[in-house]
Amino acid sequence: EVQLVESGGGVEQPGGSLRLSCAASGFTLDDYTIHWVRQTPGKGLEWVSLINGDGGVTLYADSVRGRFTISRDNSKNSLYLQMKTLGIEDTALYYCATENSSGYFQHWGQGTLVTVSS
C-alpha cells in the first residue's frame, strides 16, 4: 500500500525552528518530485516547496524562501522540511505530496500540525 507519513510537527515559539519529516512506504520516493503543501486551520491550501527526484532542483514559495529548506534522503525513502525563523503565519497543517507524471499531486500524507505561538 502506498503511504506517506509526516511527522515532526508541534508547538514552537515565534523565531524558533522545527524539522518536518515525510516517510514513504509502498513505493520508491526517488522516482518522484515531492512537495510540501500547507493548510491554515479552517482555510485553504498553500504550496510551500518542491524538490525533484535527485534533489538537484528545489523551489520555494515567496512566503518561506530563505527560512525553509527542503531536502530528501532517497536511501531512507524520506523527505524533510527544515523550518527556521518561524512566524505565527506559519501555523498550519503541513502535507507532503508526490507529483506524478501527469503533473498533479497524487499521493498525500495525513499531515503534521505546526503551531507557532508565544
Partner 1 sequence: QSVLTQPPSASGAPGQRVTISCSGSSSNIGTNTLHWYQQPPRTAPKVLIYRNTQRPSGVPDRFSGSKSGTSASLAISGLQSEDEADYYCATWDDSLDGWVFGGGTKLTVL
Binding residues vs partner 1 (CB under 8 A): 35, 37, 43-47, 50, 59-62, 95, 102-106, 108-111
Least separation in angstroms between residue 72's CB and partner 1 is 18
Least spacing, CB of residue 61 vs partner 1, in Å: 5
Which one, 35 or 72, has the nearer CB to partner 1? 35
In angstroms, what is the minimal distance from the CB of 80 to partner 1? 19
- Cell output for 13: 515559539
Dist. CA 54–CA 60, nearest whole Å: 17
Compare residues 15 and 89 and give the one whose CB is closer to partner 1: 89
Q: Where are the alpha helices (DSSP H) in 62-106?
A: none
Burial 42-71 (b: 16+ CB within 10 A, else e): eeeeebbbbbebeeeeeebeeebeeebbbe
Please say which residue, 23 or 61, places its beta carbon nearer to partner 1.
Answer: 61
For residue 33 the three cell numbers come to 518530485
Please, which residue, 78 or 112, has the CB nearer to partner 1? 112
